[in-house]
Chain A
């Protein structure tokens, strides 16, 4: 179980892995996620969205960016290695039906979970317009895959090295200004990007769905670490989400909560470097 079948590096810090997980592959629907752990004694549990699944092969695909200790360690694993624990699929699947025109906006690594949703929306008979954004050209992922699905694809980069220069919110606003306006927007990416997308669509009254990725321990409703404020009420991302109405999410509180362990993470990182330095000094000189 949990054997890594394929590993591919998509950009500097972004990796794709196909992992054997037959039960999750057959139950999983777009929008759902897993919790993964690399060591059952001392490893941490991190949530990752399922980018794709192949029930026939019994595999799921995850796409992740190396941001913390666990994702860095995961990136060092090779095809053939095993992942100690994978729990899933978790969360409510995306509500997919024929809405009409759906704008799918993906920022950075958020394009990965967006892809199966865009595909689902297209298969349900929607006209799909995809906007994908990245900081720079080398960080653009899944462009071909989305081009194959979307009726229209817009690529933007912050530095203008590829596609349009600017932020995803600009084309999003233009699309909202069209007549008829889109029936639904789906925005997935860094919290600040989802906040900006929600603000961009708000004046146009375009319903905007966002998929949140918060701190979690169990992922089954037991710890409440993932809670967010939605429309003034507390919701658990793991069991009530991960998708919410972007116009009602308190993104500022969510972003603050995401930084809860910043200090400990920095200390841990610092400690790693110190250990390495001490080790190098203690080791006998050749």
Chain B
């Protein structure tokens, strides 16, 4: 049986190739030539037989010592060959799996024909951030999960690599200098404030600006981009790609104010009542780290993944000697959690020189929320997985610094509300792990600042902002979307939320 998500041993790569980019490109070139020599059109059977194109990547032993991007991207021939694998099924179940409903068979057809310009144009009808989403979307649980080819081959890992093709055509357009900011309609004189500059906010800003409304974005940090800048590391999402998206916004005429915290520098209500904004979008994200609430969590050497990653990414602490922001010097690191953020933190720790990085997760690999590719990459790079285990308390030395962590083992019991089997602690299974650093990556709650400083804004008991089906909050002319509504989720879902809210704002301003 082919390896399925969850069946593989940690550290075993699934579709990550060990061939060099040149070897992969050459194989694809030959494959494409062979396909072109055929005189009959490809049948579904022929398409099924085309080999899945592996993603060229930096060798694990090289990349664990640098911050450069791990996945190097397809060659043009690989892109065409991979796109030819698409069965072009009429029902297009992949589209149902996409939160922004990109015409996936449509762009794959164009890419298969080598018309990469047409391919990116089709994607951009629905998605604003293809270069980002091609890299960070959890395709295996969205479009690719539904892919008929994956089903036919009885292996979801063998679905068409939709995200990789998306990435290639987006990169080609940007690097070729062909990316043009969307056209803007004549100025309407209406003004919209967008709070936050992450994926939801970027989408709203672009969609609202397109209609000719003036858009002002407010960012608390000194650089825009939200989680794509402070959270997701360079080796997974190069910052120049995010910057290109921000530049596109400013080229459209969107105004961006950094170092501006709505709720403190200015109240949300003041934007509407005093500053002349006609509508406000709240896209402030899930920016309040959860902790384990165990003994020893405030010892020196315990960090939220947010802090660790922000120091490393936004503050560039990896650039020792140039960056003023320090990062903790770690030898043995434990990362708690099984999501993308946990993988990012673990892999960052390795790159910053940790001798050992242990990822501790209380369920099994099958339940890990992280992308399969990130888990595989982390394993290849030497992150050690401790599944069905969890931290019980953190132990400090005489100086209040972490010197170890008491853990317990778990077994899987009955399914819980989420449908996942609930991990149950095995009595008497406590053991010690010698570590000097603990990074907590068990999720985020919504940042409470705007809720606390805005009267009448209704929130759930978990602090997320309540919106109706149009993205409108309990306050007139105030909309919200992204993680501040969803809780911690993904870039693409945030973008979908942004699309919806932008449409509502545009409707409101038309009236």
**Given known A-B contacts A40-B222, A261-B328, A228 and B316 have beta carbons under 8 A apart:** no
Tell me the residues in window 28-47 of chain A with beta carbons closer than 8 Å to chain B beta carbons.
37, 39-45
Could you say which of A41, A87, A256 has the most chain B C-beta atoms within 10 Å of its C-beta? A87
Cβ of B315 within 8 Å of any chain A Cβ, yes or no, is yes
Whole-angstrom distance from the CB of A48 to the nearest CB of chain B? 14
Q: In the assembled complex, which residues on chain B have CB atoms less than 8 Å from the CB atom of A264?
A: 326-329
Cβ of A78 within 8 Å of any chain B Cβ, yes or no, is no
Q: Do A218 and B259 touch across chains, with their CB atoms under 8 A apart?
A: no
Cβ of A217 within 8 Å of any chain B Cβ, yes or no, is yes
Select A217's contact among B258, B266, B293, B310, beta carbons within 8 Å. Answer: B310
Cβ of A6 within 8 Å of any chain B Cβ, yes or no, is no
Interface size class of B (residues with CB under 8 A): 35 or more
Select A259's contact among B220, B223, B300, B306, beta carbons within 8 Å. Answer: B300
Q: Do B298 and A89 touch across chains, with their CB atoms under 8 A apart?
A: no
Select A220's contact among B316, B323, B449, beta carbons within 8 Å. Answer: B449
The chain A residue sitting closest to B399, CB to CB, is A256
Q: In the assembled complex, which residues on chain B have CB atoms less than 8 Å from the CB atom of A44?
A: 315, 323-326
- Stretch from B176-184, B209-217, B283-291 forming part of the interface with A: B283-291
C-alpha gap A43/B317 in the complex (Å): 10
C-alpha gap A203/B240 in the complex (Å): 58
Tell me the residues in window 263-315 of chain B with beta carbons closer than 8 Å to chain A beta carbons.
264-266, 287-289, 291, 293, 297-301, 303-304, 306-307, 310-311, 315
Q: Do A86 and B329 touch across chains, with their CB atoms under 8 A apart?
A: no
Interface size class of A (residues with CB under 8 A): 35 or more
Q: Do B298 and A257 touch across chains, with their CB atoms under 8 A apart?
A: yes
Whole-angstrom distance from the CB of A28 to the nearest CB of chain B? 9
Whole-angstrom distance from the CB of B338 to the nearest CB of chain A? 20
Main secondary structure on chain A at its contact with chain B?
mixed
Q: In the assembled complex, which residues on chain B have CB atoms less than 8 Å from the CB atom of A217?
A: 307, 310-311, 315, 325
Q: Do A89 and B221 touch across chains, with their CB atoms under 8 A apart?
A: no
Q: Do B261 and A220 touch across chains, with their CB atoms under 8 A apart?
A: yes
Whole-angstrom distance from the CB of A238 to the nearest CB of chain B? 10
Q: Do A260 and B300 touch across chains, with their CB atoms under 8 A apart?
A: yes
Q: Do A222 and B306 touch across chains, with their CB atoms under 8 A apart?
A: yes
Whole-angstrom distance from the CB of B172 to the nearest CB of chain A? 28
C-alpha gap A27/B301 in the complex (Å): 36
C-alpha gap A37/B222 in the complex (Å): 9
Q: Do A27 and B265 touch across chains, with their CB atoms under 8 A apart?
A: yes
Cβ of B238 within 8 Å of any chain A Cβ, yes or no, is no
Main secondary structure on chain B at its contact with chain A?
loop
The chain B residue sitting closest to A86, CB to CB, is B259
Whole-angstrom distance from the CB of A46 to the nearest CB of chain B? 9
- Chain B 320-338 against A: per-residue CB contact (8 Å), 1 yes, 0 no? 0111111111000000000
Q: In the assembled complex, which residues on chain B have CB atoms less than 8 Å from the CB atom of A228?
A: 298
Q: Do B287 and A27 touch across chains, with their CB atoms under 8 A apart?
A: no
Q: Do B298 and A268 touch across chains, with their CB atoms under 8 A apart?
A: no
- Chain A 1-28 against B: per-residue CB contact (8 Å), 1 yes, 0 no? 0000000000000000000000110010
Select A23's contact among B266, B289, B321, B324, beta carbons within 8 Å. Answer: B266
Q: Do B306 and A224 touch across chains, with their CB atoms under 8 A apart?
A: yes
Cβ of B400 within 8 Å of any chain A Cβ, yes or no, is yes
Q: Do A221 and B298 touch across chains, with their CB atoms under 8 A apart?
A: no
Q: Do B289 and A224 touch across chains, with their CB atoms under 8 A apart?
A: yes
Whole-angstrom distance from the CB of B291 to the nearest CB of chain A? 6
Q: Do A41 and B265 touch across chains, with their CB atoms under 8 A apart?
A: no
C-alpha gap A250/B323 in the complex (Å): 31
**Given known A-B contacts A220-B220, A221-B448, A239-B448, A42 and B298 have beta carbons under 8 A apart:** no
C-alpha gap A40/B225 in the complex (Å): 14
Q: Do B304 and A223 touch across chains, with their CB atoms under 8 A apart?
A: yes
**Given known A-B contacts A42-B322, A220-B447, A223-B306, A85 and B328 have beta carbons under 8 A apart:** no
Cβ of B319 within 8 Å of any chain A Cβ, yes or no, is yes
The chain A residue sitting closest to B316, CB to CB, is A42
Q: Do A69 and B324 touch across chains, with their CB atoms under 8 A apart?
A: yes
Q: In the assembled complex, which residues on chain B have CB atoms less than 8 Å from the CB atom of A43?
A: 324-325
The chain A residue sitting closest to B223, CB to CB, is A40
Q: In the assembled complex, which residues on chain B have CB atoms less than 8 Å from the CB atom of A86?
A: 259
Q: In the assembled complex, which residues on chain B have CB atoms less than 8 Å from the CB atom of A90?
A: 261, 264
Q: In the assembled complex, which residues on chain A have CB atoms less than 8 Å from the CB atom of B291?
A: 224, 234
C-alpha gap A78/B307 in the complex (Å): 32
Cβ of A263 within 8 Å of any chain B Cβ, yes or no, is yes
C-alpha gap A85/B224 in the complex (Å): 13
Q: Do B265 and A89 touch across chains, with their CB atoms under 8 A apart?
A: yes
Cβ of A65 within 8 Å of any chain B Cβ, yes or no, is no
**Given known A-B contacts A88-B265, A217-B307, A42 and B323 have beta carbons under 8 A apart:** yes
C-alpha gap A271/B301 in the complex (Å): 23
**Given known A-B contacts A41-B316, A227-B298, A253-B298, A87 and B328 have beta carbons under 8 A apart:** no
Q: Do A234 and B329 touch across chains, with their CB atoms under 8 A apart?
A: no
C-alpha gap A35/B171 in the complex (Å): 36
C-alpha gap A223/B314 in the complex (Å): 12
Q: Do B324 and A220 touch across chains, with their CB atoms under 8 A apart?
A: no
C-alpha gap A134/B328 in the complex (Å): 33
Q: Do A253 and B400 touch across chains, with their CB atoms under 8 A apart?
A: yes
Q: In the assembled complex, which residues on chain A have CB atoms less than 8 Å from the CB atom of B230?
A: 218, 222
**Given known A-B contacts A222-B287, A222-B289, A227-B298, A265 and B326 have beta carbons under 8 A apart:** yes
Whole-angstrom distance from the CB of B327 to the nearest CB of chain A? 8
Select A225's contact among B220, B259, B307, B316, beta carbons within 8 Å. Answer: B307
- Could you give 8 example pairs across A and B, Cβ below 8 Å? A27-B264, A40-B222, A42-B322, A217-B325, A239-B449, A252-B400, A256-B300, A257-B300
